[in-house]
Amino acid sequence: MNHFLDIHKTEQPDLRSIIESAKAMKTARAGRPRGTPDDEQPLQGRMVALIFEKPSTRTRVSFDVGVRQMGGQTMLLSGAEMQLGHGETIADTARVLSRYVDLIMIRTFDESVLYEMAEFSDVPVINGLTDRTHPCQIMADVLTYEEHRGPIAGRKVVWSGDGNNVCASLLHAAARFGFDFTFTGPAQLDPEAEFVGLARDAGCNVRIERDPARAVENADLVVTDTWVSMHDSQSTKERRHNMLRPYQVNEDLMAHARPDALFMHCLPAHREEEVTSAVMDGPQSVIWDEAENRLHAQKAVMRWCMGV
């Protein structure tokens, strides 16, 4: 049984196997209507619980469609329905769910919920997002880069903005896939020192550069994310906008990167805030392929977890 909890918790050969499996499954589906099943039905007769303590569009739809394409069924559960850790412990919830379903995907706030779920579950658990990491997104990003530009190993990836949970998983991926990583953003929003150290210990060239133009010089990939959360107060939003405005990804900033550099954003995006529409809709943007690849990457993750 394999849990998929974080990229740095998964061995490099397994991660590479997942990426190659995702490529193969995407190729096999080329030209098919979205609702048609895959030729292989590895989840036939399997039930997958999709737990959402945090709301979602891409994670919910991509996991649900992926399970169905592979022949399985899904059970969607909200945080309000389950009240994880309130009344019944997370450990007991994990024990019970393990008697009903074959696989659990959870999108939650505190990563301790994820790890406790995995510890006491008798079936594989997948991290659909926590406040600290977002590994499924980064597996889709690696898939997207490689289908456009070939192996990501040795490339220069630049993150501009807030060193958040997506940024953290990108640092984990640098350690496992062997690319260079540069963070540019305000010091108050630096990525966690633990994750920076993890990538450096793995031999990655990790830089923190406050000047965004210098940071993206010779970049092969530029990545950003939203500056604010839906839960932030108005005063917090204004403060974060003031801090992050110099790190907006716009045409001037992209001009400092390599001519064939790609742009990614996990979405949803706030146009004209962290990124301009000119970049999002421009020739270097691969955000729609990136969004689609959540489906293919997560199907490969589920197959790996289930050993099918």
Quick check: is 266 catalytic? Answer: yes
Quick check: is 305 catalytic? Answer: no
From the candidates 3, 29, 46, 107, give the one annotated as an active-site residue: 107
Quick check: is 69 catalytic? Answer: no
Q: Under a CB-based contact definition with an 8 Å cutoff, are residues 2 and 14 in contact? A: yes
- For every residue of 109-166, DSSP letters joined together read SSHHHHHHHHHH-SS-EEEEE-SS--HHHHHHHHHHHHHHHS--TT-EEEEES---HH
From the candidates 176, 225, 240, 248, give the one annotated as an active-site residue: 225
pLDDT in tens, the chain (308 residues): 899 999 999 999 999 999 999 999 999 999 999 999 999 999 999 999 999 998 899 999 999 999 999 999 999 998 777 777 677 899 999 999 999 999 999 999 999 999 999 999 999 999 999 999 999 999 999 999 999 999 999 999 999 999 999 999 999 999 999 999 999 999 999 999 999 999 999 999 999 999 999 999 999 999 999 998 766 778 888 999 999 999 999 999 999 999 999 999 999 999 999 999 999 999 999 999 999 999 999 999 999 999 99
Q: Indicate the pTM of the whole model.
A: 0.97
Which residues are CB-contacts of 303 (< 8 A; sequence separation ≥ 6)? 21, 42, 70
Quick check: is 137 catalytic? Answer: yes
Quick check: is 167 catalytic? Answer: no
From the candidates 69, 137, 248, 298, give the one annotated as an active-site residue: 137
Quick check: is 134 catalytic? Answer: yes
From the candidates 134, 155, 240, 256, give the one annotated as an active-site residue: 134
184, 225, 276 from 270: Cα distances, Å:
19, 9, 9
From the candidates 256, 266, 284, 305, give the one annotated as an active-site residue: 266
